[in-house]
Amino acid sequence: MDTTVQKLYELWCEKATGDADLVNELASIKGDSDGIYDRFYRDLEFGTGGLRGVIGAGTYRMNIYTVRKATQGLANYLMSSGSKQPKVAIAYDSRIKSDVFAKEAANVLSANGIKVYIYPELMPTPMLSFAVRDLKCDAGIVITASHNPAKYNGYKVYGSDGCQITLEVAEKVLAAIEKVDIFNDVRSTCYDCAVGAGLIEYISQDVIERYLDCVAQQSVHPELCAKSGLKVLYTPLCGSGNKPVRAILDKIGIKDVTVVKEQEMPDGNFTTCPYPNPEIREALAVGLETCKSVKPDLLLATDPDCDRVGIAVKDGDDYVLFTGNEVGAMLLEYICRERTRMGTMPQRPVAVKTIVTTQIASEIAKEYGVEIRNVLTGFKFIGEQIGFLERDGEQDRYIFGFEESYGYLAGSYVRDKDAVVGSMLICEMAAFYKSQGSSLLQARREMYEKYGVYHHSQVSFTCEGASGMERMQEIMTSLRTQTPKEIAGLKVTAFSDYKASESVDFVTGKKSAIDLPKSDVLEFDLENGASAIIRPSGTEPKIKIYYTTKGTTMDEACELEARINEDFTQILGF
């Protein structure tokens, strides 16, 4: 084993005594060269998403020491940026040690003379974005690993605009972090002492109420829900959405709400939903079972940090899951149609989606005269577009933004996806169609009849550890240097490399520039309106592929997607 790694392990055994769990873990891997190497062969990567990793001991794990080091780097960056006393807001979710990491971050910031505002209990990620703007902070931190399994936690950093920090800022923060010695350069203080001195202040209920008021203002038909008779079953998947989602549904008049008892309270082990991702059917299993007795019109499920929401809709005696693409497209059409009909649509309205999100959104936008903006994967890029509009005094032009991974946002009050407003609008939309003698199922069917049947799917392959990172890079390099000209018998008509900022039309040979930030993303446009987009995840040890197919029926589109996936998987070597 590398002697540098061994020495680092020994240093941690000597110095990392502030957490009994770490002490025990370090002792348990003594003599285990593979275990030591995997924990110490590198640092957790700090990117635009901040940190994310397995909880445990070592430089390549989430623990109080990696959190302290990152926070000291952030503090150094903020103190050098010109503000006399920077202010930072902090939130955290239900994950293992989220509250501990949040307090450790607060201790480091306050020891550096930085004012900290922290929520007194777990809160959704979008409420951190709101607090940054509402309290006029210079930055924000949220401790979460979103929808990842229980062994993960993370540390996301937000700028003063309420968006996750840009690549440029992330690089500056990373440079500051890299100068920090994890044991010798970190300043920290007593949490209770800092609270007593006013350096750490709890975020008040007034801020929470202002947030809920802003969410409620995004309602299209505020008078509708109270008389709709809509029956809702809700699961927060043991996360942070329980209180705010129930509060907003009550606020708009939806009173018949049942909460899945097994998943109501915070549980960082996610005992009843090992993969607490509303994109995955297994995460909704307990809720779907509860549907049999409650018989709701709609099942809502929010992920642990409550920035994504999934749904299942009553279909006879069964319940059908909708995809994020379907829900986002339906919400876009509902907002466009009803706001146009009511005369509340702004002049030159704008909707924003990511490049891997359904193309049916472009057809809907065209129908209602809405400008559609395509951005890179990551909701921060949608938030960035809202910021551009705000800069020009035109934030009211923004009507809706969404991504295929169940993230939605109406309104400019936050700059991140928000499952609280998503839950509200989904319930309102369901109530609207119910009041019309229709349903979400019927509305989806009519949308496909009008705009065409689009099928979207995502496939991911886990590539953990050092070898996994290397394999992902090898795959991306191979696709760039040996670009396939055909997939599943369909010709590749265009190839776009978002890292090289160039797109090539294989039919004409013409090259064109891509006017988006550089990103490690490759897109293959195929015949018949199909496409495949591949990228390494920025937050998980996975490589992700997004497929789009179009057909006259859903069966036809699904069959084509299956053929493309089978062939492309072989090309990738999985």
Catalytic residue (one of 98, 110, 146, 412):
146
In 3D space, the residue among 111, 39, 48 whose CA is nearest the CA of residue 416 turns out to be 48
Q: Would you list the DSSP string of 285-350?
A: HHHHHHHHHH--SEEEEE-TTSS-EEEEEEETTEEEEEPHHHHHHHHHHHHHHHHHHHT-PPSS-E
Q: How far apart are CA 57 and CA 55, in angstroms?
A: 7
Count of CB atoms situated within 10 Å of the CB of 124:
33
Q: What are phi and psi of 198, to 5 degrees?
A: 80, 5
Both tokens of 407, joined, read: 């993230």
Q: Is 180 helix (H, G, I), strand (E, B) or coil?
A: coil
Q: How far apart are CA 302 and CA 309, in angstroms?
A: 4
Identify whether the C-beta of residue 134 lies closer than 8 Å to the C-beta of residue 160. no
Q: How far apart are CA 293 and CA 289, in angstroms?
A: 8
Both tokens of 311, joined, read: 């749904």
Q: How far apart are CA 338 and CA 240, in angstroms?
A: 31
Q: Is 506 helix (H, G, I), strand (E, B) or coil?
A: coil
**146 annotated active-site:** yes
Q: How far apart are CA 70 and CA 102, in angstroms?
A: 12
Q: Is 472 helix (H, G, I), strand (E, B) or coil?
A: helix
In 3D space, the residue among 136, 141, 22 whose CA is nearest the CA of residue 87 turns out to be 136
Count of CB atoms situated within 10 Å of the CB of 234:
26
Compute the radius of gyration of the chain from its Cα atoms: 24
Classify 375 in phi/psi space as left (phi over 0), alpha (psi -120 to 50) or beta.
Answer: beta
Q: How far apart are CA 273 and CA 363, in angstroms?
A: 36
The two most distant CA atoms of the chain are separated, in Å, by 71
> Residue 452: exposed, middle, or buried by beta-carbon count in 10 A (0-12, 13-18, 19+)?
middle
CA 178 to chain centre: 26
Q: Annotated catalytic sites, by residue?
A: 146
